[in-house]
Amino acid sequence: MNQLHDAVIVGAGFGGMGAAIELLRQGYDDLVILEREDDLGGTWHVNRYPGLAVDIPSSTYSYSFEPNPHWSRLFAPGAELKKYAEHVADKYDLRRRMRFGTVVTRAVWDEDTSTWAVHLESGEVVRGRFLLTATGFLSQPRLPDIAGIDDFRGTVVHTTRWDDDVELTGKRIGIIGTGATAVQLIPELAKVADHLTVYQRTPIYVSPKLDGPVPGLVRGAFAKVPLTQRATRLVGTSILEVMMVAGVLHFRDLPWANALGKRVCEAHLRRQVRDPELRAKLTPDYDFGCKRPTFSNTYYPTFTQPHVDLETTSIDHVDAGGIVTADGRRTDLDVLVLATGFNLWDTNFPAIQVIGREGRDLRKWWREHRFSAYEGITVPKFPNFLSLNSPYSYSGLSYFTTIESQMAHMGRLLTAMRERDAAGFEVTEEANTAFLDRMTGLLGNSVFNAGSCATARSYYFNQHGEAVLLRPTSTVSAYREATRFPLDDYTYLPKEVAALPV
């Protein structure tokens, strides 16, 4: 017989764990968290490449209700994030609710029983009253479609499938990609490689990183007087908020704020790279903020080392021994690192097939209509479904601001549902359309629409060239709306759940 859970959550990263914590607070105890990997932590379990660290200050990258006084650095290394995820899972008793190595293929709303049937690759069906997908934005690795890559006789490794056994010391290493991942990895590879060739298609804005160890005294103060850490977090969050709101979202009104971000990065590059030709190659030709900028003090200087080459001629093909560029030059390689990022718009949104009422298939609906989700979390004709990685859901620069807004939305919605003695909820088409129209209007002011982003090749943009990933409001307003949205933007399902199939 199919056991009916209160909720099925897909994904055991920080998003899925936050959702589980909120459900527990709301009194839903019977949760199952399905995870395709063999352990919890999402991004922080999957990514293990050398140099991995959080790319915004650690004080802002945690649940506000579960501060971690133990971060060793201002930008904590990846292993500490994984440890923090484990701590949260244990403290909130989530681990026993998790099933690892469990691949979900699709989820279907069963109109007869008003439940979600979640189908696993194994053939098993898990049922829940609520379905929550927390499958991440950056969870489907992008393997580049480069001719001949399968012929390469050396080792090929994608950054999300890092293999510690791959020998790097003294090797000729090629790395494709110069996104935030590569910015962390390239200086580490340069330390051990005999020769490193970096294949760059689009340069990235890099700003100085105010990093360093957190002194024991400060960590002690954070542990003993949590208010001190909360104040530090507030400062960090405010800086990120100003960067995002003034520099990116209000581009049209405040072009100087955006220009300031650009100038900080350009000055950083000028200070670290003297050679004008190399500097020109590393200088982006799109506006600041079109794609996610990053922080590093070691990235630019790496290219000034004699054994490191920056290759900007496009790749023609890979052969058994290395990479051949479009001008016919060949570089012999032992190891090829793919720092080529993630595919968001073909394989994600949603990451699994989700079929709602009247057979509405979310994947098709989003592609045939426009990408939309009310407050970045619910979709019409998908009752009792919370899609945590939706269009317009990502708010601010720390993922935790998004997670906590969504937890607040869940809390308000589930409370309203219970107050009406209802069995479920569904957002109305009108509310969804009004939200989409409002977000589209706000985007007009942002760098994505008003700036020059054509050459950025940013994953913020979907296949139609629309920047529908980030919510174009401040995080403060996102949180406020999560706690105050009109309750009649939803309809509430009557309590007449039919018997479950056996």
Stretch that binds ligand NAP, among 87-95, 108-116, 244-252, 336-344 (CB under 6 A): 336-344
| Nearest CB to ligand NAP, comparing residues 290 and 482 | 290
Residue 35 in contact with ligand NAP, rule: CB under 6 A: no
In the complex, what is the shortest distance from the CB of residue 61 to ligand NAP, in angstroms, rounded to a whole number? Answer: 8
In the complex, what is the shortest distance from the CB of residue 245 to ligand NAP, in angstroms, rounded to a whole number? Answer: 18
Residue 3 burial (C-beta neighbours within 10 Å; 0-12, 13-18, 19+): exposed
Closest residue to ligand NAP in the complex (CB):
179
In the complex, what is the shortest distance from the CB of residue 417 to ligand NAP, in angstroms, rounded to a whole number? Answer: 34
In the complex, what is the shortest distance from the CB of residue 182 to ligand NAP, in angstroms, rounded to a whole number? Answer: 5
| Nearest CB to ligand NAP, comparing residues 15 and 179 | 179
Size (the chain), residues: 502
Stretch that binds ligand NAP, among 195-203, 361-369, 383-391, 405-413 (CB under 6 A): 195-203
Residue 177 in contact with ligand NAP, rule: CB under 6 A: yes
- Side chain identity, residue 198: V
Per-residue binding string, ligand NAP, 114-153, x by CB under 6 A, is: ------------------------x---x-x-x-------
- Side chain identity, residue 24: L
Among 19, 32, 34, 54, binds ligand NAP (CB under 6 A): 54
Binders of ligand NAP among 261-300, rule CB under 6 A?
292
Stretch that binds ligand NAP, among 51-59, 100-108, 367-375, 436-444 (CB under 6 A): 51-59
Residue 351 in contact with ligand NAP, rule: CB under 6 A: no
In the complex, what is the shortest distance from the CB of residue 408 to ligand NAP, in angstroms, rounded to a whole number? Answer: 23
Per-residue binding string, ligand NAP, 444-473, x by CB under 6 A, is: -------------x-x--------------
Stretch that binds ligand NAP, among 4-12, 107-115, 333-341, 356-364 (CB under 6 A): 333-341
Looking at residue 342, the DSSP 8-state letter turns out to be B
For residues 473, 475, 476 and 481, what is the CA-based torsion angle, rounded to 10 degrees?
A: 70
Pairing of strands 195-199, 308-311: parallel
| Nearest CB to ligand NAP, comparing residues 180 and 373 | 180
- Side chain identity, residue 83: K
Token digits for 254? 């405040």
In the complex, what is the shortest distance from the CB of residue 176 to ligand NAP, in angstroms, rounded to a whole number? Answer: 5
Residue 40 in contact with ligand NAP, rule: CB under 6 A: no
Is 28 within 8 Å of 6 (Cβ atoms)?
Answer: yes
Token digits for 7? 């909720």
3-class DSSP string for 143-206: CCCCCCHHHCCCEEEEHHHCCCCCCCCCCEEEEECCCHHHHHHHHHHHHHCCEEEEECCCCCCE
Which one, of 297, 392, 343, lies nearest residue 55 by Cα? 297
Is 19 within 8 Å of 143 (Cβ atoms)?
Answer: no
Is 128 within 8 Å of 4 (Cβ atoms)?
Answer: yes
Which one, of 130, 105, 139, lies nearest residue 377 by Cα? 130
Stretch that binds ligand NAP, among 196-204, 316-324, 464-472, 486-494 (CB under 6 A): 196-204
Q: What count of other Cβ atoms lies within 10 Å of the Cβ of residue 336? A: 23
Residue 178 in contact with ligand NAP, rule: CB under 6 A: yes
In the complex, what is the shortest distance from the CB of residue 178 to ligand NAP, in angstroms, rounded to a whole number? Answer: 4
Q: What residues pair up with 492 in beta bridges, in sequence order?
A: 425
Residue 328, Ramachandran bin (φ over 0: left; ψ between -120 and 50: alpha; else beta): left
Stretch that binds ligand NAP, among 107-115, 177-185, 251-259, 386-394 (CB under 6 A): 177-185
- Residues of this chain that interact with ligand NAP (CB under 6 A) are 52-55, 138, 142, 144, 146, 176-182, 184, 199, 201-202, 292, 315, 339-341, 457, 459
